[in-house]
Chains A and B, each alone.
Chain A
Amino acid sequence: MADSNTIIAPENLVYKKTDLLLDNVMHYCPGCSHGTVHKLIAEVIDEMGLQESTIGIAPVGCSVLAYNYIDIDWQEAAHGRAPALATAVKRLMPDKVVFSYQGDGDLAAIGTAETIHACNRGENIVMVFINNGIYGMTGGQMAPTTLPGMPASTCPTGRDVVRDGNPLKITELLAQLPGTCFVTRHSVHTPGNVRKTKKALRKAFENQLANKGTSLVEVVSTCSSGWKMTPVQANKWMEENMLPYYPLGDIKDE
């Protein structure tokens, strides 16, 4: 039987985690998409050589502690205000690279005004939008993107569109604004989708280096705890229910 030290010898390694992804134990639940997206962002920043020039803006929500996991400078914003912070950071330090990382409640409910106006001004930033259709951090309440009929703790019998309104397709809405240059929707539930998401993130950061305006990368995500499913069930449920409503692919690429 092979010695484990032999197995992990450098010449046997087929994959190495980027140094930008810190070794802190993630607080995310098993099956959560945040960890994967964090890794992709860390890889993109590392591969593009942007560690020293990137400032991340963390939201309020499950990813409030995103700054514990990626080894760059961070600012943690009040709920929904990340695009306002990002606006100022980028305008005051135009040679730095700035991205916000926000969930659906942050970007599409409480921070809708900041989101729309940052995009409308065409702020030269990247916005990463994690859409899992639920409020994870506060314990599974309805989100602006919760699907019709989908249960949450504040709509236990499912979202009633007459009472609660329809899920907000904010990404499509933002694509209408002349300030956005790249608006795209992805997922990280299969290796193929992970690769596509990484490509999109890279393009978004490249757009910023080329001063093209706002790039928005939505990642349709799972929340197995909030959805009360196993990670495998959650992936399947997302594919069958979320993706028909939030279809993957580029919405705008200029």
Chain B
Amino acid sequence: MRELKLMKGNEAIAEAAIRCGVDGYFGYPITPQSEIMETLMAEAPWNTTGMVVLQAESEIASINMVYGGAGCGKRVMTSSSSPGISLMQEGLTYLAGSELPCVVVNVVRGGPGLGTIQPAQSDYFQTVKGGGHGDYKLITLAPASVQEMADFVEVAFDLAFKYRNPAMILSDGVIGQMMEKVELGEQKPRWTMEYIEKNHPWATTGKKKGKERRVITSVQLESSAQEEFNHKLQAKYRQIEKDEVLYEKIMCDDAEYLFVAYGSSARICQKAIELARNKGIKAGMLRPITLYPFPIQQLQELAKQVKGMLSVEMSAGQMVEDVRLAVNGKIPVEHYGRFGGSVHSPSEVVEALEQKLIGG
């Protein structure tokens, strides 16, 4: 049996990164995620796997170090929290525009501005609607447990490399700071240069004699070339939307009302389902695990069954827009959530369900 450890979500990210053979981490401290780099520095993986860990001078430098490493076909990552992720938006659009794979972790805190260090889910729009300029998407995974913090590191890298696109792990201060049991995977080796050169021929590992030089770039001077490239990107996104949707259905079989929630709100809603069912309300939940691609089809199916949906998120109402788009007016869709660093309780969620959808 593999060892069970009790650790914080942030620590789990770091341990998982080492174990799945990540090549490099570049970051800048910010609460509530600094344990990620602190754990990496304490583990000193450069002595074991050869992983590079570097504290950069800013989030801007971090994300551009990620760009440089990703351009070499290396598995590189960074992590930050909301204000730092805002600084990284330039880098993210360049990564998407240059079709570079990487993993970025956002342990979300309340905003806008410097905001609060307490947990929030108010970076949904920034993450799934763009954030940086241009028509691009970030593959987005939303862990709801410390175990998923660990597991999603490798899942995110696999998706990022499969599609040559940046992937975001969108977490929050609750999942980052809480401790739960975690089972870590076996130590995997880092990719060799031979593996990279064979599997990622686009990577700038030094031009081989008789081969074309590789150029990592996002610039197109001709608008026709840019349009053609954008069509290619969009085709890739359609493929991702078709093949990579991940979700979890909880107590949906007989549900009359549906919570739609991700990350820590999904955990809170699980408890809210218990409380609601104790009151005789048949509640269930669809938990999007990927926020992009979004489980549109699953919501459309459930809209035929339930009387209403409540999007529960620690924001003023962001994901609710995507739920409404999916449901397309067939049934009422409402939002509930505390925000600005406050976290809703399970009983508050049930009250909101009763008030906004059941009527009372």
Q: Residues on A close to B: CB < 8 A?
A: 51-55, 57-58, 64-65, 67, 71-78, 81, 84-89, 91-93, 96, 113-114, 117
Contacts and interface: CB of A to CB of B under 8 A. Distances in A.
Contact of B213 (A74, A78, A81): A74
In the complex, the 4 A-B pairs of residues with the closest C-beta atoms, listed nearest first = A85-B68, A88-B68, A84-B64, A76-B217
A51 to B, nearest CB: 6
A102 to B, nearest CB: 13
12 contacts: A73-B205, A76-B219, A77-B64, A77-B67, A84-B60, A85-B64, A85-B65, A86-B68, A88-B26, A88-B68, A93-B205, A117-B57
Considering residues A51, A71, A81, which has the most beta carbons from chain B within 10 angstroms of its beta carbon?
A81
Given A64-B219, A73-B214, A81-B91, A52 B208 contact: yes
B206 A81 contact: no
Contacts of B26: 88
Contacts of B296: none
B242 interface: no
Nearest to A51: B207
Interface in B265-282: none
B341 interface: no
A88 B24 contact: yes
| Secondary structure call for the A interface | mixed
Interface string B62-89: 1011111101101010000000000000
B23 interface: yes
Contacts of A73: 204-207, 213-215
Contacts of B226: none
B61 interface: yes
B213 A71 contact: yes
Nearest to A74: B215
A72 B211 CA distance: 10
B207 A87 contact: no
B184 interface: no
Could you say which interface size class chain B belongs to?
A: 35 or more
Given A67-B217, A114-B64, A117-B57, A89 B204 contact: yes
A75 B206 CA distance: 11
B209 interface: yes
Considering residues B65, B193, B217, which has the most beta carbons from chain A within 10 angstroms of its beta carbon?
B65
Contacts of B65: 84-85, 87-88
Given A74-B216, A89-B71, A84 B204 contact: no
A53 B60 CA distance: 27
B72 A89 contact: yes
B61 A114 contact: yes
Contacts of A88: 24, 26, 52, 54, 64-69, 72, 76
B64 A72 contact: no
Contacts of B208: 52
Contact of A81 (B61, B69, B217): B61
B56 interface: yes
A72 B57 contact: no
B264 to A, nearest CB: 32
Nearest to B95: A78
B158 interface: no
Given A67-B213, A75-B217, 9 more contacts: A52-B206, A57-B68, A88-B69, A88-B76, A91-B54, A92-B69, A93-B193, A114-B64, A117-B57
A75 B216 contact: yes
Considering residues B54, B74, B205, B213, which has the most beta carbons from chain A within 10 angstroms of its beta carbon?
B213
B90 interface: yes
Contacts of A93: 72, 74, 193, 205
B76 A92 contact: yes
Nearest to B61: A84
A117 B23 contact: no
B209 A75 contact: no
A184 B204 CA distance: 28
B218 interface: yes
Contacts of A81: 60-61, 64, 67, 91
Contacts of B214: 73-74
Considering residues B26, B60, B71, which has the most beta carbons from chain A within 10 angstroms of its beta carbon?
B71
A67 B212 CA distance: 12
Contacts of A58: 217
A92 B53 CA distance: 10
Contacts of B39: none
A53 B206 contact: yes
A92 B67 contact: no
B300 interface: no
A57 B72 CA distance: 12
Nearest to A97: B206
Given A67-B215, A78-B64, A91 B206 contact: no
B94 interface: yes
Contacts of A75: 67-68, 71, 204, 215-217
Nearest to B94: A78
A37 to B, nearest CB: 19
A113 B206 contact: no
Contacts of B230: none
B58 interface: yes
Interface in B28-62: 52, 54, 56-58, 60-62
